[in-house]
Amino acid sequence: MKIDKITELRPQDLITIEMLTERGACAEGMAWVKANLPDGAPYQSFLEALEADSKYDWASWLIFHFGAAVLAANWRVPQIISATKKIVSSGDSAQIGSSGDSAQIGSSGNYAQIGSSGNYAQIGSSGDYARIGSSGNYARIGSSGDSAQIGSSGNYARIGSSGNSARIGSSGNSAQIEATGKNSILACVGENCIAKSAEGGCIALRYTDASGRARLAVGYVGEDIEADSWYRAGKEGKLEKVEGSDSSAQETSR
């Protein structure tokens, strides 16, 4: 597994054609950039331009190669809800389902149950006790209420929770999971995942031991891992801190 040093950019930092070339961007992607952003663009603006043109997989590639600090702006619940075009619910105990691609789902009531099976879903919930499930790839899921239960089985999920006592699980590869509320539990059994938890939190990430068996590396905030820091599973079965801060440098496995 190659370990690649990555500089994590802030939303306002400029991404240039030279930087993309160094990261090995594909020819099709470089042609799009030269046609649409020939002078480059700030990281956040670059992501917004890709998403506006439905280049979701390229946006995920950009996030992977330049870091996750900007993700918080992408999973803000009010932003998702305000941008929702397909399904919106403001009442309590809503039950919402979607099977199509590119679904935008927003709920502001308590006890919401939200499910999506298509790719590129954007799901936001601001109420307490939400239950959110997504099986498609490239899902973006945000929850700001307490006691949320969030599950994702697709690859490249971006999951964020700011409420307390969240329970977040992902079985897809290359997930990025962040919980800023207290006493949250985060688990990812897919490969190449990273996670960050707050005070009282717990993180469990998959790794493969020397015999080829899949195992979980587990850490508890305040005991063997720190709050508000990104971690990945190391080969020795311990969680390894992603070097640097959210605004400097990190190492990501791929």
In this predicted structure, the answer to whether residue 5 has a pLDDT above a threshold of 50 is no
**CA 50 – CA 92 distance, rounded (Å):** 34
**CA 186 – CA 166 distance, rounded (Å):** 8
Question: What is residue 225's DSSP assignment?
Answer: B
Question: What is residue 221's DSSP assignment?
Answer: B
In this predicted structure, the answer to whether residue 157 has a pLDDT above a threshold of 60 is yes
Angle at CA of residue 128, ends 125 and 131, nearest 5°:
65
More confident residue, 113 or 253: 113
Is residue 82 a contact partner of residue 101, using CB atoms and an 8 Å limit? no
Please count the residues of the chain. 254
In this predicted structure, the answer to whether residue 72 has a pLDDT above a threshold of 70 is no
Calculate mean pLDDT across residues 235-248: 70
Mean pLDDT of the chain: 82
User: Going by C-beta distance under 8 Å and a sequence separation of 6 or more, which residues neighbour residue 122?
Assistant: 80, 83, 84, 103, 104, 105, 139, 140
In this predicted structure, the answer to whether residue 250 has a pLDDT above a threshold of 50 is no
Q: How confident is the model at residue 198 (pLDDT cuts 50, 70, 90)?
A: very high
